[in-house]
Structure 1
Amino acid sequence: MIAINFPAPDFKIVNEAGKELIFDRFRKKYVVLTPEEWVRQNFLNYLVKTLLYPQSLIGIEKEILLGEMKKRFDIVIYNREMQPWMLVECKEMNVPLSQQTLEQVVRYNMVIPAAFLTITNGVNTFCCTYSSGQQWRFLEELPGYPERS
């Protein structure tokens, strides 16, 4: 498990028609503030402010096809050549991360191959990559963003 020290939140939150909305600076719009969205926004904040991942190379809620099913993954971080480098699946804080959560992001990785797969619920975070012999290897920390691919 990877320990994450999230930066202090500096989000713009508004109430509109009885719903709490948070400004997503990546999508440049207000979105409904669900428990999963809270985790996603805090994790994005950590990637950009603490790990210094380039905000311009991060995609949010991109749609993919798994067979005939349309799915959306939470976060993709691209390398400088605009190839997927890391996929991130977020769950709300009270949802335990399980084998099923990892299998979900592995399925997404079959469609969008990335070097790193990360799952987080804001409390627990795991990141893995392929090691030799096509085995997943869990990392002790999130990788630094590559200057070159």
Structure 2
Amino acid sequence: MEQLQPLNLPPYPFKISDSNGQLTLFDEIRKKHLVITPEEWVRQHFVQYLINQKKYPKTLIKLEGGVKLNGMARRTDIVVFNPAGEKILMVECKAPSIAINQKVFDQVARYNITHKIGLLAVTNGLQHYYCAVDFNNQNYQFIEDLPEYGSSEKP
């Protein structure tokens, strides 16, 4: 079995299988087996981090949702909702080999023009960046960590 890259996230006991030489894992959000690409490996770990460490309910997490941007279809990696159906967190996942740079932040900012979500995260599994968006003052602030789900913590 191919060695999967350790990430800067807690390890999880994924249900991994080898299907004709391709590693797959069971995605408990989408309820299906997926081929493990480097980006999917990061996405699955970050989802588990949200559920297990930050207490985000898995029923309020949507993976790979569609968004139209300048008439083109794009996909958001992870969007989390509150019980009222409002989007509260968007996460952009990259493969560990992809540097988190201005281009990646620009991509998330473009997606957020449509979504208007107050909390953003960018990760390649090794580095994680979080920021709070203030739409009233049209600025954002990097924050040290994601708040736990339901906490009154306002960045």
Number of equivalences: 145
Partner of 1:110, secondary structure, is helix
Q: Displaced runs of 4+ in structure 1, greater than 4 A? A: none
Contact 1:64 1:70 in 2 (8 A): yes
Residue of structure 2 equivalent to 1:139: 143
How far did 1:111 drift? 1.1
Residue of structure 2 equivalent to 1:99: 102
Contact 2:79 2:89 in 1 (8 A): yes
Partner of 2:66, secondary structure, is strand
How far did 1:66 drift? 0.6
How far did 1:6 drift? 2.7
Q: Which amino acid aligns with 1:139?
A: I
Give unpaired runs (5+ residues) of structure 2: 1-6
Give unpaired runs (5+ residues) of structure 1: none
Matched, 1:63 2:61: no
Residue of structure 1 equivalent to 2:27: 24
How far did 1:68 drift? 1.5
Q: Which amino acid aligns with 2:38?
A: P
Residue of structure 2 equivalent to 1:40: 43
How far did 1:87 drift? 0.5
- TM-score when scaled to structure 2? 0.87
Contact 1:9 1:42 in 2 (8 A): yes
Contact 1:118 1:128 in 2 (8 A): yes
Matched, 1:6 2:9: yes
Give the whole-Å Cα distance in 2 for the aligned partners of 1:147 and 1:138. 18
Give the whole-Å Cα distance in 2 for the aligned partners of 1:108 and 1:71. 8
Output one character per residue of 1:19-38: Cα deviation in whole Å (capped at 9) or x when no partner. Answer: 21111000000011000011
Contact 1:6 1:45 in 2 (8 A): no
How far did 1:60 drift? 0.2
How far did 1:94 drift? 1.3
Which structure ranks higher in relative contact order (CA pairs < 8 Å, sequence separation ≥ 6)?
1
Partner of 1:103, secondary structure, is helix
Partner of 1:97, secondary structure, is coil
Paired-residue identity, %: 39
Give the whole-Å Cα distance in 1 for the aligned partners of 2:8 and 2:42. 13
Give the whole-Å Cα distance in 2 for the aligned partners of 1:104 and 1:143. 23
Q: Which amino acid aligns with 1:59?
A: K
Partner of 2:121, secondary structure, is strand
Contact 2:8 2:127 in 1 (8 A): no
